[in-house]
């Protein structure tokens, strides 16, 4: 097996068993990047010098039986809105050109402390909004990988990295993961600290993970989750053992949300329905479920909140450098500036009501299920339709996408699972069970 195809968990086990050197793994991934990233364009910056030095340190520690954590010696990538000490962090924007932070974002710091090796920074849409990154979808270079975590999805799918950090405010982690045939996890709001992540909305920004297996997503979450005293939005809720939950997987109770199937193109609805039938035949208790009435206005509330927050966050910088902003984020900021306070408060009240009305539905099932996206990855630079993620970003509920098949044109599709707040362990267990039944996506041909 080529080293670049190793998943994070398999690589970590091989390093711990001393049959794989972190040095060899880093070199294999750097060679892979040099060979194919000219076409995929996932990386904003590759820090080969620091990665090689970190790999040598990890190899020396492993030889002495010292393992700093469960990802000791395993490389990862970070979306270019995550601060990384000493590395340019530009958020896909000319506004931040040349910015070098002095500290690591919390998620980056925790992965490094667990022995993981930061290989570099991955392309994002400008400030994680809609102005596209240059990144292409490895499954079809004419298609978008999705956004805003474009480089994170493309790099993991193209076997340039086994694990990547992304973010989601509307649909920016789960959607690109699905477009690229990956597992993409958005935990409960506040589960992973956002300190050191360029903000888009303080009340809706989530740190997420992308990997090629549910196990790897659980492994990454086990490291980065938990309260961060330096982040006011960070939750103090206890973190369960996500990896142990995978060993107790069982057929889940599934509430299928037909509203989403009706909004999907026929091929997506058909492939997802076939996946649901396979899960039912394997033992899942499948029922049709219906969202509460506030779902009809959830999308509008999400955009009011996000645009207002974005305008507030960028106000000072925008006043000084408006001409450097690209069209989509400039429009969002300008629209946000026009939203009156009473409308913003009304949107917050809708969000609270939507969260309350969801609870009986969430208590009835282990997971709710939808197609992950209304259509496969579109051609061109537009980053795709986030509408199937909006409700879960607005409510802050944990969600995950798992591959469920391919279109006739060979593009990957996924199912999206959603569960109650702070139930990532049981969500991952259900996702792993579904992964066992549906299988994992193959690698794109590059």
Q: Is residue 45 part of a domain?
A: yes
Q: Is residue 103 part of a domain?
A: yes
Q: Compute CA 149 distance to the chain's CA centroid, rounded to the nearest angstrom.
A: 7
- State both tokens at 68: 């700093």
Q: Is residue 392 part of a domain?
A: no
Q: Are 342 and 283 in contact (CB under 8 A)?
A: no
- State both tokens at 425: 């362990």
Tell me the CA end-to-end span of the chain in Å, nearest whole number.
Answer: 17
Domain count, the chain: 1
**Average pLDDT of every residue of the chain:** 97
pLDDT score recorded for residue 353: 98
Q: Are 373 and 413 in contact (CB under 8 A)?
A: yes
pLDDT score recorded for residue 416: 99
In this prediction the pTM is: 0.98
pLDDT score recorded for residue 426: 97
Average pLDDT over residues 360-384: 97
Of 21, 79, 150, 399, the catalytic one is 79
Q: Write the CB contacts of 335 (distance below 8 Å, at least 6 apart in sequence).
A: 307, 311
Q: Is residue 169 part of a domain?
A: yes
Q: Is residue 277 part of a domain?
A: no
Residue 233 a catalytic site member: no
Of 21, 84, 93, 148, the catalytic one is 148
CATH number, residue 229: 3.90.1300.10
Q: Is residue 237 part of a domain?
A: yes
Q: Which domain holds residue 87?
A: 7-246
Phi, psi for 210 (deg, rounded to 5)? -125, 135
Average pLDDT over residues 383-402: 98
Q: Is residue 403 part of a domain?
A: no
Q: Is residue 410 part of a domain?
A: no
Residue 79 a catalytic site member: yes
Q: How confident is the model over 41-52, as pLDDT tens digits?
A: 999 999 999 999
Of 130, 172, 178, 308, the catalytic one is 172
Average pLDDT over residues 329-353: 97
Cα separation values, 423 from 240, 328, 335, 397, Å:
8, 35, 35, 9
């Amino acid at each position: 097996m080529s080293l670049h195809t190793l998943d994070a968990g398999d690589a970590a086990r091989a390093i711990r068993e001393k049959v794989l050197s972190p040095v060899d793994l880093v070199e294999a991934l750097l060679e892979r990047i040099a060979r194919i990233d000219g076409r995929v364009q996932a990386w904003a910056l590759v820090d080969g010098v620091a990665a090689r030095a970190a790999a040598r340190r990890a190899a020396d520690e492993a030889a002495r039986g010292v393992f700093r954590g469960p990802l000791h010696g395993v490389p990862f990538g970070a979306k270019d809105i995550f601060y990384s000490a000493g590395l340019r962090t530009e958020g896909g924007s000319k506004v931040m050109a040349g910015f070098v932070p002095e500290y690591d974002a919390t998620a980056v710091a925790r992965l490094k402390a667990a022995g993981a090796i930061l290989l570099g920074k991955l392309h994002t849409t400008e400030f994680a909004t809609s102005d596209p990154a240059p990144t292409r979808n490895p499954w079809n270079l004419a298609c978008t990988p999705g956004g805003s975590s474009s480089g994170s999805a493309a790099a993991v799918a193209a076997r340039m990295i086994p694990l990547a950090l992304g973010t989601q405010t509307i649909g920016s982690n789960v959607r690109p993961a699905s477009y690229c045939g990956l597992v993409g996890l958005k935990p409960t709001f506040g589960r992973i600290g956002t300190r050191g992540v360029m903000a888009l909305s303080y009340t809706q920004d989530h740190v997420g993970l992308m990997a090629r297996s549910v196990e790897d997503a659980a492994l990454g979450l086990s490291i980065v989750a938990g309260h961060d005293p330096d982040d006011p939005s960070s939750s103090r809720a206890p973190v369960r053992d996500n990896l142990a939950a995978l060993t107790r997987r069982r057929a889940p109770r599934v509430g299928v949300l037909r509203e989403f199937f009706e909004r999907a193109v026929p091929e997506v609805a058909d492939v997802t329905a076939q996946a649901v039938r396979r899960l039912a035949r394997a033992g899942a208790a499948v029922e049709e479920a219906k969202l509460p009435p506030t779902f009809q206005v959830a999308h509008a509330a999400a955009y009011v909140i996000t645009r207002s927050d974005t305008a507030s966050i960028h106000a000072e910088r925008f006043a000084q450098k408006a001409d450097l902003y690209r069209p989509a984020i400039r429009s969002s900021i300008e629209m946000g500036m026009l939203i009156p306070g009473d409308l913003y408060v009304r949107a917050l009240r809708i969000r609270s009501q939507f969260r309350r009305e969801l609870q009986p539905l969430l208590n009835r099932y282990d997971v709710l299920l939808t197609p992950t996206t209304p259509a496969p990855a579109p051609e061109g630079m537009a980053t795709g339709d986030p509408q199937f993620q909006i409700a879960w970003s607005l409510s802050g509920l944990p969600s995950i996408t798992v591959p469920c098949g391919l279109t006739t044109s060979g593009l990957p599709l996924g199912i999206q699972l959603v569960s109650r707040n702070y139930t990532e362990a049981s969500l991952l267990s259900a996702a792993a069970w579904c992964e066992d039944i549906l299988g994992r996506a193959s690698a794109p041909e590059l």
